[in-house]
Amino acid sequence: MRIKSEVRRQAIMDVATEVFREHGFEQASMSEITARVGGSKATLYSYFPSKEALFVEVMHRCAKAHMEGVFAGLDPAKDVRTTLQTFGEKFVTFISEAKLISVLRVVYSEAGRTDVGRQFYERGPKEGMRKFADYFEKCVALGKFRPENAMVAAQHFTALLRAEIMDPLLMGACNADGLPSLDEVVARSVDIFLRAYGTK
């Protein structure tokens, strides 16, 4: 029964992903998702108590596979500048993807009306910050960074990485092809971060 339930849950998420991409969060309906996946609304709500919960789960699944690869390379035993550059290039490549930009637009638009923004933040950006903070603390123990608030350091570095690219993308001022060279964006961010937090 558990296997069957998980298969059903994944099927619902697959269909919901299609519906959210086609219509956006606001226009997507649980009725349409139910019609496409089959079964009843009661069954759908037994897996996901609200459209908001389903949306957050879909977006989390989409982002998780990519982000795990991004944070996997944060090895405190390796050279800091090289590690930050590699991490940064993966990070900015991911956050500049059209798919993620469209998701973020929906999240921001819903944040003032529903709980979608908070849920997405808790399971996405905040989780990533914790992983970077853990890397930072291990580097501090090895004498590679000055002792500082690790979560703040994580926020500072990701803010530097986002600074030159996110507003133009989110506001439709350009697409990914119109961005400055991403490796140069990352190199500038790494340089500033190491001047702020490095030991040398």
- Give the per-residue pLDDT at 3: 54
Give the model confidence (pLDDT) of 98-135 as tens digits.
878 877 887 888 788 878 888 888 888 888 999 999 99
Q: Please give the model's pTM, rounded to 2 decimal places.
A: 0.80
Confidence of residue 53 (pLDDT cuts 50, 70, 90): confident
pLDDT at 141: 98
Q: Is there a contact between 117 and 108 (Cβ–Cβ < 8 Å)?
A: yes
Q: Whole-angstrom Cα distance, residue 71 to residue 84? A: 10
- Out of 83-97, 135-149, 165-179, least confident range: 165-179
Please check whether residue 15 is in contact with residue 37, taking contact to mean a CB–CB distance below 8 angstroms. Answer: yes
**Which SS3 state, helix, strand or coil, does residue 181 take?**
coil
Say which residue, 83 or 118, is predicted with more confidence.
Answer: 83
